[in-house]
Copies of this chain bind each other. A is one copy, B any other.
Amino acid sequence: MPRPVYFDCDTGIDDSMALAYLLASPEIELVGIGAVHGNVSATQGGRNTLQLLQLAGRRDVPVAIGRNDPLVGEFDGGAPHVHGRNGIGEIEIPETDMTPVNEDAADMLLRLSHEHAGALEVVAVGPLTNLAVALQRDPSLAERIAQVTAMGGAALVPGNITSVAEANIGHDPEAAQAVVSASWSVTLVPLDTTLENVLEEADRLRLCAAEHPLARAVGEMLDYYFDFYVAEYGRRCSAMHDPLAAAIAVGGMLPRVAPAVPVEVDVTDGPGRGQTVCDLRGQRQGPVDHPGANVRVVLETEGQLAPQLLERLLAMPVPAAADRVA
């Protein structure tokens, strides 16, 4: 029996990779997707997600639009310099007649948490606003969720939108603080490890040559992302933020160093705003879990994501044309 997963995303190039990874993983079943502000607006992210599902012949997966603004402040316009103006590297993929469902993402998450009480897993790869809104509407949500895996934060490496803040957390620190302090089990996948899992140009070209239209689209949109990452790595390649969180959630990737420690998100207006303040003192002799800590911070993974990401995406059965065109 595949485990039921609610996926929350701001699609986004690496969100698209994460979506493809989840669709290609028999261990889990995507029972619902929520879109949130972040790389793009929630509306644009939802549209991208629907088009990608259509490409994959997965018209059965419901998509809900969620919050377009963080809990405090407003959507900042996204990251077109990273993800392109349309969020998917400015590639064109077919329009779809699929539409978002008639509930918002937080309500979808709450409904699914009842339908799959105790079993539902959450994979969140954007700002955590939808999760926080759901917790506000019903704090008992936390009890019905088996596991939350979130791409976000920077523990012992610099941030990517400020010196210390990573984009997903920094774009809604208040939501992130609500999520890490709720009484559920959270696995945080921060820049410490996502920046060490890199997709190279040769990998990308294998995706571009795929027969599966979603795998091929991912390869094509990565062209834009690779340009952005030249400044970081000195060559065309990319970090794999969101797909690493997806792979850890699925179980395809295993954390190697991932202590459960106190985590507090900085919600001040100081220079640390948006930082995931993780108490990683005393870990020199090996990972040590703090009793009662509900957040596990993934600092290193077993092996590299690229080989198995390629394996999964390239093994996806190509959908019949009838499945993917309205």
Which A residues have a C-beta under 8 Å from some C-beta of B? 156-160, 163-164, 231-234, 262, 264, 266-272, 275, 277-285
Contacts and interface: CB of A to CB of B under 8 A. Distances in A.
A234 B285 contact: yes
Copies per complex? 2
Contacts of A232: 282, 284
Contacts of A269: 268
Given A163-B262, A285-B234, A158 B272 contact: no
Contacts of A285: 233-234
Given A156-B156, A156-B157, A163-B262, A277 B282 contact: no
27 contacts: A156-B156, A158-B280, A158-B283, A160-B281, A163-B262, A163-B277, A163-B278, A163-B280, A163-B281, A164-B272, A164-B275, A232-B284, A233-B285, A264-B271, A266-B270, A266-B271, A266-B272, A268-B268, A268-B269, A268-B272, A270-B270, A270-B272, A271-B272, A271-B275, A271-B277, A272-B275, A272-B277
Contacts of A282: 231-232
A282 to B, nearest CB: 7
Contacts of A267: 270
Nearest to A177: B271
